[in-house]
Structure 1
Amino acid sequence: MPRGSSSKRERQYEHIKESAEQRGESTKRAKEIAARTVNKERARSGEAGSASKSSTQGKSASRRGGERSGKGGSDDRTYDELYAEAKRRDIHGRSSMNKAELKRSLSGS
């Protein structure tokens, strides 16, 4: 974090970093994601010394919510990821389900 950053931005950085690590990102990658997100938010709100055009226009990183992160919605999840989610939600019969059946059961259909 840059010197002189607010306690709000420090908390935001830690939250984003922890979330990325929970999603399975390496510590180094989690720090990078958090720093880039916080820096963009600082630029959008005028806290940064300078800001690029792309930082100040369009959706904010927090509103975009990873739209362009390369990891899409549930359609991109692997069988193992779907199975782990079904296990976490304690969905019965998950061990005999294929990928499409796991998707349906997780979506509630």
Structure 2
Amino acid sequence: MPRGEKSKYTDKQQRKAEHIEDSYEERGVPAKEAEARAWATVNKQSGGGERKGGSGQEKSETAKRADRKDSAHRAAEARSGDSPNKGSARSDRSGSTSLTDLTRDELMHKAQERDVHGRSKMRKDELIKALS
């Protein structure tokens, strides 16, 4: 694809770029600069040309199950009104049951506590699988 060709963009991305470009031109930005800024904005927001299926990284079934379990727990806490993490859902992850929310270092610490063999060479997804 030659540099600057827009054929790989979805219709929605092209409409968005046109709208942004028009907005810049209304503010007095030259047409060529407005177009460049518009496409830069679209690229930043959507990651460039046409995408199918998001980032391309599939979550494992174990990770999906942990996320569903965590979501169900948080929903039940919200319904009952006695959430231990009230007001600090992201700052305190100790109540979270989802391993995918933890950093690799936090997973390594949990693996060390459970004496998981080979943990030092494991990637994050492998640690999640080993701890599940």
TM superposition score category, shorter chain reference: 0.3 to 0.5
Instruction: Return the structure number with greater relative CO, CA threshold 8 A, min gap 6.
Output: 2
Larger Rg: 2
TM-score by length of 2: 0.32
TM-score by length of 1: 0.38
